[in-house]
Structure 1
Amino acid sequence: MATVDYSDKRVLLVESSGNMRASIFYMLRSVGISNIRATTVSNRVLAEIAEHSYDIILLGHNVSDSFAGIQLLEEARYRGYMKPSACWVFMTSDASQEAVLHAIESKPDILITKPFTIDKLKGRLDALMIRRQRFMDIDRALESGDEEAALRLCLTRFTSSDPDFDEAQLIACQILSQIMRYEELQQLSEELYWRTRGKEAGLYWAESLMYQGMEAESISLLQDVIAANPLYLAAYDLLARAHEYQGDLDEAREIVKLATSKSPMGIPRQMELGRLATQTSKLDVAQGAYKRSITLGQKSCYKSAEPYLKLANVLRLNVDPDSENQVLDTERQFDALLAQASSQFKEDETLKVKSALLRAELARTLDREDEIDKYTQEAKRENSQLGNPLDLGKEIARFSGEVISKPALSASATSKGEVKAKTKRDPEMSMKVNRQGVRHYANGRLSQALRHFGLALEYDHMNGSALCNLAQLYLELARDDKPKRDARLIMFDRNMHLAGKIRLAGEVRQKCEQLMALRQKDIDELPDGPLGVLLR
């Protein structure tokens, strides 16, 4: 590994333990860093980061801290302080799954468990700094908001033989995802996934499929990613969203519930669980999620009035109007929650409107006509005084757990071509198109054959004949076109992988086995011409 010069690096060391802070300080000095600002963990650290430019930020987390480093990490990500050009090192004395997974979601560059040796710290820092040097121009473009320039650098600066090629491709996937160019994202991430089997590439591929209307394919891919990476929480989140887009809210709820059991410290996911549980009338689950959000929010940047309002709404939905005792108890808890929200979030100008709407909904549930009108008028009056009035109809709908819709494509996405509508499943049409592909192949029109076999799979992704035909065609192309061999073999492997997920029988199964046997041979030694008869 190349030698790294740290003499010009500016470093911020944040650690609450005096002994540990001193130890790490001298470690940094020994690797050649002289410009070090060392401080304890406090809420003043964020102001320090915002006001000054640091090359490396080492942030310590200890279980005993009243104000923990993990909260600083989360808020730094939330506020946009974690710039691509800076290196973030999260040092934790808590190696529990809960803490580690929660920290990972804030995406530090390095996560290291305390105590550690100087050699381990230097090794991790050296690798990170070398990577930063190689991607400096891309990071600067991203930091300035020029996604197009960063994307162009990712796609043109690195060749396939470059050791950084796959990482550059992954950054390009990240950019395409951000600017919602899903067709390009699908092509790039699919090739990257089959080459590396990386979980991030799989996630981007699944995202591109989902936002192009192919939820079933996205779900299947995400299940594979999770099976290989059971603690990859981002895949659970996307899988839940795909099920929601399909209308399967119960399954979406259970997936989010499983994710929160693995990493219960994240407020956004707890709120998502509460939303889905409310929609599916699992009010006990929703209540627990909102209560945890309130508790977690005491020292979090995600602290807001929303979980108080949502919890009050769950109480409303759960009340039995015919039980006088329950009504009285519900009203007492309901009022207490709204009072707590009002007291803690005085700066929230919308809170009076939302509280009045909630009171009107409770009155509606209890069939109190006078109160319905009273609180509805109060909500309208308070809303009229806001600089940006709320849509009261939407706010009322949110009390039942709003449905999440797909995002609209950005202008940069639509300029590349409209996303194709999802093809209706039609096995009969799939077989017809597959036969047309076979005829094109027999007449030497390979590009038309490729297109027809692909279209056959759009009509029916379970068409084993089309999968085998497409795989054979890619294997022949790999044999005959050395410059594009790797890409062709990736596509062969992809189609064989998909075929392996289907229960095949008869000649289709036999064909699949023949193709897999051919794949084990040296490509240059495969016979010329067709590698077998295509399936009709």
Structure 2
Amino acid sequence: MQENANLTVLVVDPNPGMRASLQNMLNQAGIGKVETAVNASTAIKQLGKRSYDVILCEYDLGGPGGDGQDGQQLLEDLRHHRLITASTIFIMLTSEGVYGKVVSAAELTPTDYVLKPFTVDMLSGRIKRALERRTALLPVWQLAAQGKPVEAIRACGTATLANPRYALDFLRLKAELHVSVGEHAEAGALYRDVLAERPLGWAGLGLARTMVAQGQFDEARETLELLVQGNPRLMGAYDLLARCHEQLGASSEAQKILEEAVSISPHMVRRLRKLGEVALENGDAEAAEKSFKQVVSKARYSDFRNPEDHVNLVKALVTRGDVQGASGVIRDLERSLRGSSNADACKAYSSALLHEKMGNVSAAVAELQMAVSATRASSGLSSNLKIGLAQACLEHQMDEQASSVMMTVMADASSPVTVDQAMGVFVRAGRSDLADGMGQQLRAQAQILLGVAGEKRNMGDVRGAVQTLLEALHMAPGNQQVMVAVAGGILRQVNELGWDHALGEVAAEQVERLRAMDANHPRLAALVEEFQLAKRKYGIAS
């Protein structure tokens, strides 16, 4: 048992007797570094401070001291927020009576399941088996973590030959790596190979994801509908199916799918939030209120709490005419989330919505002004919230404030909102003049950023220069000078620091767009040659 001496283990269980029993079992197995958590929230806090080799988690976390989440939802939160790595061993502890329900629902599967009751030898054997699997997959995981996905894909092939018992694990990992570098057709072929042998839920869901990534929403919808029929508790399939319906313009169908998913798995906050958002878009304020009330309640003690949930709940309540309820939500927001610029912005925006409903126009304007000021100092507020705030400002002829808010959206290179979409906010409000003015501001800002990027490059900060160039591209996507600078900057970075597939795709896109706009551009031929040389250097192309 000497090999277990350095293992670190986190036990997550609401039952104090079970925690003590598990600690005793682990000690008997030679594992002395054991810590415990009584519920999902405590586990998340501990994992935010340090990592563990092994997590033993009770599926039913709703017992004494529990917080409503189950072990599967905790696992999904940990993966979603990257609090555990691929090499973390996560073992679910559950009774035989609920095992079938658990395993069928698990898109993000634990490393293993252990059915209760179990002995020291059984638990020790499962941990040993998980460690052997981790040792086999670790070289590939490490290559992926080092930003070397192409090498990791190659390593899957050689590792499969050396460890044939984990062939399916390597095949799944290889498909995920292909997805990570945008090779969706290659990933899809691998998923089809798996499905030809066994109708595994994760493979079907992976195949549907490759279809969505390639814009094949009809095909993905058909695949997912069959997948849900055969795997009615594969929750990720419902989420993706709802997204397909949204993309196909069937938002009411998306809402129905999400409602069905919530009825099966009622505690996942991200799904409840999405249902509320879709319901609001569909004008179903009653359903939106129901969803966002649950989101606010379930997230109350979470480290991932979002003040925007209160804003959306206020929107639903105001739409339904529940002024008193909206006031209570705003008071709760102010009381429980005070102290951050994000919360200040959300509180002021919510108050503006309430005053507007009550006919207090001057008070609404004052709150909107405070919301805009807080937004300028905030970080992480969604583009949707900012667009809603800008629209509210436009309704009250607060032109400068509306433009200011939209500029914060466009200054965020990670924002999914395009320049055309941002302009559309003003055009739909009948303010094309503001759209033109914002366009001029964006072009001016892009020119300033080109100069900043040049200074960073001259100082040797190649990565910083590229990030600044990407900000400029977000602001002026059709500017040929910016496109050339972005492609050239990325090629300098990959030549000096190694291949980055995501950036490589951006560079390729800029080169092709430049070719489409001006096939005789003086920098085009040189960029094409530089790009091909870089790909050959890293074995991306012959």
For the criterion TM > 0.5, the same-fold answer is yes
| Correspondence list, 1:121-520, <5 A | 121-159=123-161, 162-319=164-321, 330-365=322-357, 368-386=360-378, 394-396=387-389, 410-413=502-505
Question: Please, which of 88, 93, 97 is the counterpart of residue 91 of structure 1?
Answer: 93
Higher helix share: 2
* Structure 2 Cα separation of the partners of residues 216 and 315 of structure 1: 35
Point out where structure 1 has 5 or more consecutive residues left out of the alignment: 320-329, 419-536
* Structure 1 Cα separation of the partners of residues 169 and 125 of structure 2: 19
Rg (Cα) greater in structure: 1
Kindly provide the CA deviation profile for residues 455-494 of structure 1, in whole angstroms up to 9, marking residues without a partner as x. xxxxxxxxxxxxxxxxxxxxxxxxxxxxxxxxxxxxxxxx
* Structure 2 Cα separation of the partners of residues 287 and 193 of structure 1: 40
Q: Is the 8 A contact 2:14 2:62 kept in 1?
A: no
* Structure 1 Cα separation of the partners of residues 347 and 248 of structure 2: 33
Q: Is the 8 A contact 1:267 1:302 kept in 2?
A: no
Residue 33 of structure 1: aligned partner: 30
* Structure 1 Cα separation of the partners of residues 251 and 169 of structure 2: 35
Cα deviation for residue 417 of structure 1 reads: 8.6
Cα deviation for residue 202 of structure 1 reads: 1.3
* Structure 2 Cα separation of the partners of residues 390 and 184 of structure 1: 33
Kindly provide the CA deviation profile for residues 196-216 of structure 1, in whole angstroms up to 9, marking residues without a partner as x. 332212112111112212111
Letter in 2 for 1:268: R
Residue 109 of structure 1: aligned partner: 111
Residue 12 of structure 1: aligned partner: 9
* Structure 2 Cα separation of the partners of residues 365 and 98 of structure 1: 49
Rate the CA distance shift 1:236–1:398 in 2: closer, same or farther, 3 A.
farther
Cα deviation for residue 120 of structure 1 reads: 3.9
Cα deviation for residue 88 of structure 1 reads: 1.6
Rate the CA distance shift 1:162–1:149 in 2: closer, same or farther, 3 A.
same
* Structure 2 Cα separation of the partners of residues 406 and 206 of structure 1: 25
Rate the CA distance shift 1:92–1:346 in 2: closer, same or farther, 3 A.
farther
Give SS of 1:230's match.
Answer: coil
Q: Is the 8 A contact 2:101 2:233 kept in 1?
A: no
Rate the CA distance shift 1:131–1:5 in 2: closer, same or farther, 3 A.
farther
- RMSD of Structure 2 on Structure 1 (CA): 3.9
Letter in 2 for 1:58: L
Identity %: 22
Query: What's the TM-score once normalised by structure 2's chain length?
Result: 0.63
Cα deviation for residue 280 of structure 1 reads: 1.1
* Structure 2 Cα separation of the partners of residues 141 and 161 of structure 1: 17
Give SS of 1:350's match.
Answer: helix
RCO (CA 8 Å, sep 6+): is it higher in 1 or 2? 1
Q: Is the 8 A contact 1:59 1:90 kept in 2?
A: yes
Alignment of 1:65 with 2:64, yes or no, is: yes
Letter in 1 for 2:154: R
* Aligned residues between the structures: 401
* Deviating 4+ runs (over 6 angstroms): 387-392, 404-409, 414-418
Query: What's the TM-score once normalised by structure 1's chain length?
Result: 0.64
* Structure 2 Cα separation of the partners of residues 200 and 186 of structure 1: 12
Q: Is the 8 A contact 2:14 2:65 kept in 1?
A: no
* Structure 2 Cα separation of the partners of residues 82 and 351 of structure 1: 28
Give SS of 2:34's match.
Answer: strand
Give SS of 2:338's match.
Answer: coil
Cα deviation for residue 113 of structure 1 reads: 4.2
Kindly provide the CA deviation profile for residues 71-114 of structure 1, in whole angstroms up to 9, marking residues without a partner as x. 86566445423222221223247966999489946643233344
Q: Is the 8 A contact 1:245 1:405 kept in 2?
A: no
Point out where structure 2 has 5 or more consecutive residues left out of the alignment: 393-414, 419-473, 475-500, 511-542
